[in-house]
Structure 1
């Protein structure tokens, strides 16, 4: 249970950190790149399995880690943009509602049961993303208001689906840390390639000490948010549906509270309704 509690607290803090990046004028992309080398280093040193780096590509989970690394750096940037442009509650709900996507793939790939209640839950989740994302003063609903939350929703769902598939089929308990570290390491390599491209061909900014410090502050909780979640999923006798319910609902509520009290975010009635529907839909989807 302690792993689940830690995962909730740390995952919620990531949204807050991204919001602070905006306040302190941190270059989000540069901080994210630094964050991944920090997360990789922690995971590699922390891992009980001392696997040489050159042997990582030969592991059965390596291909999954490559796809996840690409998704991580892409969706992490989307999470930051959504937190900064739409608010913490919007980013949180969009990311957490993505639990519907692995459920859909479970039905398609593994012939898992589908009920009318689950279908209602999925539809409610989509409604929740819309209601929490749209503000009355938004002039371009399909542009700045809705685009980032929808992309975050789809990308987070892809991560959850692939992470669960790879973890179940290829990752043993002793390999959790090295698997997590490898995902972050691949994300770092991809980030460095794009950073160099920006620097050489798009007049990108040189990295500075502020962005490095911000990346370190992000990398430590980022690594452990994944580590603790995977370890919580491996607890014997702890139903994963209940685990995901507690995890997702708690993160939605904590980040909403943080947005209200730390950043004075304003929520309209429709946004509150969306948050309430989000919590209810997660319960419907994962508990039935």
Structure 2
């Protein structure tokens, strides 16, 4: 399970990077943009995807939608970490597995089981218990960021599941194309900001983006490696990764960044772990 552990560390390091971007007044969006060409290069050299098979028009539409979502949700992850903290954002991200499970029997007509329904219920309660604390309008604003992260990440998970069903084209090739499209869209948006005169380029943001891309790709790479080794028990990989990110993220958030959690938030952490375990049980699917 060493690859799972490395994937967990990389995932939490992505969150730490977002936290540091805010602390050192680094433009998070510019860092996100530079993250994608970095991830694309690592994807090309480490996965060596077969690019001989050309995607069709339907593939390109799916890639474009995913690229837009990835940039958007990465931005909101940064906002959520900056305002609500690493712990609550990690819970929102990891509990997003509720959405693919829901889509499985609401959209794809899978038969729900008692365990799955219990897991969904516990997960939704955990999301509520993990809501940020605050006062007045500030609370109203920041409480939306983890919710957006939860919904957006869940939708991305559903679409990524569709990537695995594409015929004649590998998942890693699709991933490479998506990273490339995200890179193009990101740089086009920066050029647009430059033309409008609203862009103040920060070299440190570009460097931060390269580091972010390294850890972002690392979390994906070692996650896939873990799935390849533990191919007979993928649920163990899924649950270990999700629980590990929540636990390590909580430790880092509380001890390193002194994040304050309410008793309800602590209950949310516990319920999130319980929900992840239930939803990843083989007979819960």
What TM-score comes out, normalization by structure 1 length?
0.89
Q: Secondary structure at the match of 1:113?
A: coil
1:218 aligns with 2:212: yes
Of 120, 123, 132, the residue aligned with 1:134 is: 132
Of 98, 101, 104, the residue aligned with 2:102 is: 104
Rounded Cα–Cα distance in structure 2 between residues aligned with 1:71 and 1:98: 14
Q: Cα RMSD (Å) of the superposition?
A: 2.3
Cα 1:243/1:60, change in 2 over 3 Å:
farther
Of 78, 89, 98, the residue aligned with 2:87 is: 89
After TM superposition, the structure 1 = structure 2 runs for residues 58-73 of structure 1, keeping only pairs within 5 Å, are: 58=56, 61-73=59-71
Cα 1:258/1:131, change in 2 over 3 Å:
same
Rounded Cα–Cα distance in structure 2 between residues aligned with 1:140 and 1:103: 33
Q: Which runs of 5+ in 2 are unaligned?
A: none
In structure 1, the residue matched to 2:163 is 166
Of 170, 174, 183, the residue aligned with 1:179 is: 174
Rounded Cα–Cα distance in structure 2 between residues aligned with 1:105 and 1:25: 39
What TM-score comes out, normalization by structure 2 length?
0.89
- Cα shift readout 1:189-229 (whole Å, capped 9, x = no counterpart): 1112222222223x322322111110111011112222333
Of 188, 197, 206, the residue aligned with 1:193 is: 188
1:98 and 1:157 in contact (8 A); partners too: yes
In structure 2, the residue matched to 1:122 is 120
Rounded Cα–Cα distance in structure 1 between residues aligned with 2:4 and 2:168: 19
Q: What's the offset of the Cα at 1:84?
A: 0.5
Cα 1:72/1:56, change in 2 over 3 Å:
farther
Rounded Cα–Cα distance in structure 2 between residues aligned with 1:166 and 1:26: 34
Q: What's the offset of the Cα at 1:112?
A: 2.8
Q: What's the offset of the Cα at 1:119?
A: 1.8
1:204 aligns with 2:206: no
After TM superposition, the structure 1 = structure 2 runs for residues 40-59 of structure 1, keeping only pairs within 5 Å, are: 40-49=40-49, 51=51, 56-58=54-56
Q: What's the offset of the Cα at 1:286?
A: 1.8
Q: Which runs of 5+ in 1 are unaligned?
A: none
Q: What's the offset of the Cα at 1:260?
A: 1.0
Rounded Cα–Cα distance in structure 2 between residues aligned with 1:142 and 1:170: 46
Rounded Cα–Cα distance in structure 1 between residues aligned with 2:168 and 2:123: 30
Q: What's the offset of the Cα at 1:128?
A: 1.6
Cα 1:281/1:171, change in 2 over 3 Å:
farther
After TM superposition, the structure 1 = structure 2 runs for residues 146-157 of structure 1, keeping only pairs within 5 Å, are: 146-157=143-154
Aligned residues: 282
